[in-house]
Copies of this chain bind each other. A is one copy, B any other.
Amino acid sequence: MRFSYVIFSLFLISLGLFSSCEKDAKKLNNPTINRGLQHPSLILTKQGVQDIKAQLGHIPIFDKTLAVTKKEVDAEILAGIDVPIPKDYSGGYTHERHKKNHLMMQKAGVLFQLLGDEKYAVYVRDMLLEYAKMYPTLPLHPQTRSYARGKLFWQCLNDANWLVYTSQAYDCIYDWLSKDDRDFLEKDLFKPFADFISIGNPQFFNRIHNHSTWGNAAVGMIALVMDDDRLLNRALYGIKDDHLKEGMKDNDGGLIKVKGEKAGFLANIEEPFSPDGYYTEGPYYQRYAMYPFLIFAEALQNVKPNLEIFKYKDSVLIKAVSTLLNLSNKNGDFFTLNDAQKGMSYYSKSVVSSVDIAYKFGGEDPKLLDIANKQQVVTLDDAGLAVAKGIEEGKTKPFIKKSVNLSDGPEGKQGGVGILRSNDLELVFKYTAQGLSHGHYDKLSFSLFNNSNEVLQDYGLVRFVNIEQKGGGNYLKENKTWAKQTIAHNTLVQNESSQFKGKYEIGSKHHSDLFFFDAKNSSIKIVSAKEDNAYSGTQLHRTMAIINDDEFEKPFVIDVLQVQSKTKNQYDLPFYYFGQIMETNFDYKVNSELKPLGEKDGYQYLWKIGEGKPTSNNVKFSWLNQGVFYTLTTVATKNDNLIFAKIGANDPHFNLRNDPAFILRRKDTQNTIFVSVIEPHGSYSPVSELALNSKSIISNLEVLTNTPEFVSIKIKTVNGKSKLLMLANDVVSKTSKHKLKLNDKVYQWIGSYYYTNIN
């Protein structure tokens, strides 16, 4: 049990609150921790509303958001209320309508508070009454795909979304409503709704999962409005006896019941967040989950301030916001780790509210104002006011993303993610735990960005979120059979089989281990990790660095992958580049007919375009993308196969993007080392038609040492200069002294690596 958890538990015990039994819920009503009921009190407070009203017209970003929101809601009010009988998957009309309804109710509630115009309250009330009339007789949603079907939506998750937003709307008009209306709404709508998504669906509610976080927040927030501590207790601590069987799985293949696992909101903070604020599913889902985490936390802070929820687990919720922002490229697009839709960014609504809440409740970090300023929108509540005022008062400081190592696992001991940054180059190196049901089998994989353009991509998910004609907007079959497979990533595949046999049960038992991370040196940022379980009997050790060397026009990447195995294997190392091939230094032949590269584990989705063999000890492969040239230089052995591939085979419904890959294949090999440099260079503009530095300046890349103790690599440039990178394979200590003799010269250094110019 972690220290902060202990402290918090002691605190709860001291308040007589430590229990997950619903019968203890009444203790929450202890007046010392509950400042008494007033409305609104979740995201808007009475005081906050007064403050906002006093400031209106003087806080541009807030005023702007308010104007946009008013216009949007006014148009919806004009269009009239529609509460259709649920029928469609996401992307379909009834799904999108109910979703829009809860978003509009939340906004209308806020507008009622801020502008005082009763039409907004009327709109919320009338819509709620429609729902209340429909709900008691509503059957399960007719679409059957989900492991936890909702009533308004095809999955409970969306029902929970609805309640999180609607609770806020209810809070805003609570005092304005008649007691009769309140009673009717609570009896026929809110209480049965909260029960349905919790005790009615424990397989949804009682997990460690982003779904459950939404469920917990939904139940908790309506509980706060209704002042129902029994429900609140359920939200915070889960259902004690959920009668779930161990081994149950959801429709993404994720385990529902894990032995000994706690449930409820607090457990959902405890488990998936590492102490560094990394959420184990990856940034795409962290972005999604942050909203219920923070909105419920905000409401708890306002209604039950003595809980000090923002200090829970060393203030991990606040920390997680900065961590999430760091998990995006220069443009703010989140790195695609595990299941992730490309293009999702910190401009998303849930990150806007996360940033605003973290600013207000996390000590007003002025760097967050920089992001809020980019977002150009704030939440229309106390937190948004704080941000808007902060910006207006000129408090903004730049949010500079640095190289950072983020641990994974509840205690930060289950691997992690290393992010290296140098100038415009950003490298994301994955050595995490499985990442729950959204995890991919791609230990020691990486992706690379240059000025926010993808240089070597991570494919992301196979899903067209909310686009109905693509499988109801849900995960497509190819997400499992392609996107999660190892070959879909920039990492090693052994014998054309995915890591951990592509099995969640195996993958979720393991994680990679950090060997070292160092980003303090301005000329070299480096991360190194090991993976011993992906392939039984094989040890993988990958070290990646971005080197900023004056002789090179731009920083470049060096990639050292050591493989030790008990058996001979075939190793495939793909590079998912984007762009047009410019040049290679080896002979190859393209195929006049195309066949899939393999039959299973994702290989069936790759067309084999052509193949080559090295003609020297280095393979060079150059391409042009978005106006920048890139060259991959890799140390080759003469039997290597050099494969040109393209995604798209066996794709009967055109669900995949047809992106290219260059694959190094080494057959019949036991122990080996892959050493590559990825070198961005020069530029091309179709307007000036100038091609600058279109060629690599590396004339030779060589492995000088490859022993159990050391790896040393020599990079020679066309200018006749040479550079050495030395890596120590021994147990790492920052003060370890190393000595290596190369060509009669003895090199000595302290630490796990050493980079130097020679000549």
Contact = CB atoms under 8 A, between A and B. Distances in A.
Given A348-B688, A658-B646, A686-B344, A467 B593 contact: no
A342 B695 CA distance: 23
Contact of A467 (B582, B646, B650): B582
A11 interface: no
A689 B341 contact: yes
A580 B469 contact: no
B694 A467 contact: yes
A730 to B, nearest CB: 43
A734 interface: no
A468 B691 contact: yes
A259 B254 CA distance: 78
A622 B467 CA distance: 12
Contacts of A466: 689-691
A651 B590 contact: yes
A342 B686 CA distance: 7
A694 B652 contact: no
Contacts of A465: 686, 689
Contact of A468 (B348, B580, B689, B694): B694
A343 B580 contact: no
A657 B342 contact: no
A580 B695 contact: no
A603 to B, nearest CB: 14
Q: Which of A342, A593, A596, A657 has the largest count of B CB atoms less than 10 A from its CB?
A: A593
Interface in A558-615: 580-583, 589-590, 592-596, 607, 609
Interface in A348-370: 348-349
A345 interface: yes
B695 A469 contact: yes
Q: How many copies does the complex hold?
A: 2
A624 interface: yes
B596 A595 contact: no
A614 to B, nearest CB: 18
Contacts of A3: none
A629 to B, nearest CB: 9
A687 B347 contact: yes
Interface string A454-493: 0000000000111111100100000000000000000000
Contact of A592 (B348, B470, B596, B686): B596
Contact of A622 (B343, B469, B624): B469
A107 B696 CA distance: 31
Given A592-B650, A658-B658, A467 B687 contact: no
A695 B646 CA distance: 29
A607 B594 contact: yes
A653 to B, nearest CB: 8
Q: Is the interface of A mostly helix, strand, loop or mixed?
A: loop
A688 B592 contact: no
Interface in A648-681: 648-652, 654, 657-658, 660
A473 B348 contact: no
Nearest to A348: B687
A686 B341 contact: yes
B343 A687 contact: yes
A264 interface: no
A334 to B, nearest CB: 10
A91 B687 contact: no
A466 B590 CA distance: 25
A353 B468 CA distance: 51
Contacts of A657: 580
A754 interface: no
A147 interface: no
A153 to B, nearest CB: 15
A135 interface: no
Nearest to A654: B581
A582 B657 CA distance: 12
Contacts of A347: 687
Contacts of A18: none
A694 B590 contact: no
Contacts of A470: 582-583
Nearest to A465: B689
A594 B596 CA distance: 9
A312 interface: no
Nearest to A473: B691
A684 interface: yes
A654 B594 CA distance: 15
Contact of A694 (B91, B581, B596): B91
A593 B595 contact: yes
21 contacts: A343-B685, A345-B686, A347-B687, A349-B688, A464-B580, A466-B690, A466-B691, A467-B624, A469-B582, A469-B695, A470-B582, A470-B583, A580-B654, A589-B652, A590-B651, A590-B652, A592-B596, A592-B649, A592-B650, A646-B658, A658-B658
Given A468-B691, A469-B582, A470-B583, 9 more contacts: A91-B694, A344-B686, A344-B689, A464-B580, A464-B582, A467-B624, A469-B695, A592-B649, A593-B595
Identify the 10 closest CB pairs spanning chains A and B, nearest first.
A343-B686, A594-B594, A581-B654, A469-B583, A467-B691, A465-B689, A466-B691, A348-B687, A466-B689, A347-B687
